[in-house]
């Protein structure tokens, strides 16, 4: 089967959506499929979020996808996130190929986080709700990364028969690289690994860490990212921003941490960083909205969204309790070690490809018979 994986962004990149696309491409190829990854390219990116230049990037993505679909006789277009879905819809309608839309978040939640003023946030929320209600139901099939996103898609008109909720799983090769022993001796180290976009709630994390430092003055917070940090993040006391360029660097920095954190409260998405934290055997503190795949007190600590005091208290408690850190980290590691979980993800996606192709064939058969 020939599959075009499309995503509106630079590739490869140290961002959750791109990481999942990279893993799917490798997994599907290992199962014998021909996979084409269609993106903005390695360098063409611009800042995250909505801005006028992305219209040009998206037009180029649509043209690139059209050329690849036609030249390679692609069977299925598998588009990740909204702009790639819009490009995929254009190409799918023009070429007659089926489109699978892979939703990574609800735009009604995500778009407002890119704005500062209340008026603009409200406007972007309305745009997000409009797109949430229009784009996914025009695909031949939808995949949601969480049950929460799946519920939103059903409410927007996506038929339950054309929707599957498939959470990401640890890719065996990535999980195998994750473990790196105990952190070295030194200052208590808290680590966040990921992008610096608004939905990550990093302003909240800085406030949380000020509370941690009031009780553990030697503690440090390291933000491991591929992006340039804002002045506010760079100036925060006890906070260090480390800009990295490879997954290997992320793993090394994460290995040195005592506690890993995920402060985002957006509920529709799946933070891929959690799989990295779990593979590294780290004690995790996460806000309830983003604590996907975690069990409180078993594989991590889950605190209420927006509760800075509870988040700080959980970090402080873990920094003071090596045995609890080891227990939570070991349980988190075990939770992502099952290689069958990743194979089940690939099997479900293959089944979706077969379904949309069968439906397309069924639509074409009457026409062929009439001829």
Which domains are assigned to the chain? 2-104+135-169+340-370 (3.40.50.2000), 173-335 (3.40.50.2000)
State the CB neighbour count (10 A cutoff) for residue 119: 8
Residue of higher predicted confidence among 264 and 182: 264
What phi and psi, each to the nearest 5 degrees, are found at residue 153?
-65, -40
Q: Which band of pLDDT confidence, cut at 50, 70 and 90, is reported for residue 47?
A: low
The pTM of this model reads 0.92
CA–centroid distance for 119 within its chain: 27
Q: What strands lie across the sheet with 34-38, from one edge to the other?
A: 34-38, 2-7, 76-80, 99-103, 141-144, 163-165
Residue located via tokens 């990740």: 80
Write out pLDDT tens, residues 140-195.
999 999 999 999 999 999 999 999 999 999 999 888 887 766 676 778 999 999 99
Q: What strands lie across the sheet with 189-193, from one edge to the other?
A: 239-243, 220-225, 189-193, 259-262, 283-287, 301-303
Report the residue count for the chain: 371
Residue located via tokens 């065996």: 172
Per-residue pLDDT at 307 exceeds 90:
yes
- pLDDT, position 46: 54
Contact partners, residue 45, CB within 8 Å, separation at least 6:
9, 10, 13
Burial of 142 (0-12, 13-18, 19+ CB in 10 A): buried
> Is 232 in contact with 205 (CB distance < 8 Å)?
no
User: Which value, in Å, is the radius of gyration of the alpha carbons in the chain?
Assistant: 21
State both tokens at 115.
Answer: 């704005």
3-state SS, 232-300, equals: HHHHCCCEEEEECCCHHHHHHHHHCCCEEEECCCCCCCCCHHHHHHHHCCCEEEEEHHHCCCCCECCCE
For residue 223, list its beta bridge partners.
Answer: 192, 241
| Strand duo 283-287 + 220-225: pairing | unpaired
Q: Which own/partner contact pairs does 48-57 have at CB distance under 8 Å and 24+ positions apart?
A: 48/114, 48/195, 48/197, 49/111, 49/114, 49/197, 49/198, 50/111, 50/114, 50/124, 54/8, 54/83, 57/8
Helical packing angle, 308-319 and 202-215, nearest 10°: 50
Contact partners, residue 328, CB within 8 Å, separation at least 6:
283, 284, 298, 299, 300, 301, 318
For residue 301, list its beta bridge partners.
Answer: 285
State both tokens at 97.
Answer: 């190929």
Per-residue pLDDT at 336 exceeds 60:
yes
State both tokens at 26.
Answer: 């490798």
Per-residue pLDDT at 130 exceeds 80:
yes
| DSSP label at residue 169 | -
d(CA 161, CA 302) in angstroms, rounded, equals 33
Q: Is 7 strand, coil or helix?
A: strand
d(CA 282, CA 276) in angstroms, rounded, equals 9
Q: Which band of pLDDT confidence, cut at 50, 70 and 90, is reported for residue 43?
A: low
> Is 261 in contact with 315 (CB distance < 8 Å)?
yes
Q: What is the mean pLDDT of the chain?
A: 92
Interval 69-85 mean pLDDT: 95
Contact partners, residue 235, CB within 8 Å, separation at least 6:
none
Interval 91-104 mean pLDDT: 97
- pLDDT, position 180: 61
d(CA 183, CA 202) in angstroms, rounded, equals 24
CA nearest to 299, candidates 264, 346, 267, 262: 262
Report the percent of the chain where pLDDT is more than 90. 78
Per-residue pLDDT at 65 exceeds 70:
yes
Residue of higher predicted confidence among 114 and 166: 166
């Amino acid at each position: 089967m020939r599959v075009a994986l499309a995503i509106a962004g630079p590739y490869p990149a140290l961002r959750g959506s791109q990481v999942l696309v990279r893993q799917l491409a490798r997994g599907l190829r290992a199962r014998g499929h021909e996979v084409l990854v269609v993106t903005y390219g390695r360098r063409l990116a611009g800042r995250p979020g909505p801005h006028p230049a992305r219209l040009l990037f998206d037009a180029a993505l649509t043209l690139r996808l059209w050329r690849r679909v036609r030249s390679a006789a692609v069977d299925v277009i598998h588009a990740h996130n909204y702009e790639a879905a819009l490009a995929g819809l254009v190409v799918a309608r023009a070429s007659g190929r089926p489109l699978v839309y892979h939703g990574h978040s609800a735009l009604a939640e995500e778009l407002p986080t890119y704005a500062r003023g209340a008026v603009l946030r409200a406007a972007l929320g309305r745009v997000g709700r409009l797109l949430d209600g229009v784009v996914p139901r025009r695909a031949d099939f939808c995949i949601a990364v969480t049950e929460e996103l799946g519920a939103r898609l059903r409410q927007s008109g996506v038929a339950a028969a054309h929707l599957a909720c498939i959470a990401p799983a640890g890719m065996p090769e990535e999980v195998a690289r994750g473990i790196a022993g105990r952190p070295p001796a030194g200052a208590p180290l808290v680590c966040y690994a990921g992008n610096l976009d608004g939905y990550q709630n990093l302003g909240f994390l800085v406030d949380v860490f000020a509370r941690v430092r009031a009780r553990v003055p030697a503690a440090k917070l390291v933000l491991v990212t591929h992006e340039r940090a804002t002045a506010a993040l760079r100036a925060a006391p006890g906070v260090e921003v480390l800009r990295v360029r490879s997954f290997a660097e992320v793993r090394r920095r994460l290995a040195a941490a005592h506690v890993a954190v995920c402060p985002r409260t957006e509920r529709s998405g799946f933070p891929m960083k959690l799989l990295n934290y779990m593979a590294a055997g780290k004690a995790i503190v996460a806000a309830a909205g983003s604590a996907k795949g975690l069990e409180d007190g078993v594989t991590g600590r889950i605190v209420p969204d927006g509760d800075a005091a509870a988040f700080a208290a959980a970090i402080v408690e873990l920094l003071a309790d090596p045995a609890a850190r080891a227990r939570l980290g070991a349980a988190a590691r075990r939770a992502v070690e099952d290689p069958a979980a990743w194979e089940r993800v690939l099997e479900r996606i293959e089944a979706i490809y077969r379904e949309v192709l069968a439906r397309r064939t069924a639509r074409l058969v009457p026409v062929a018979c009439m001829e």
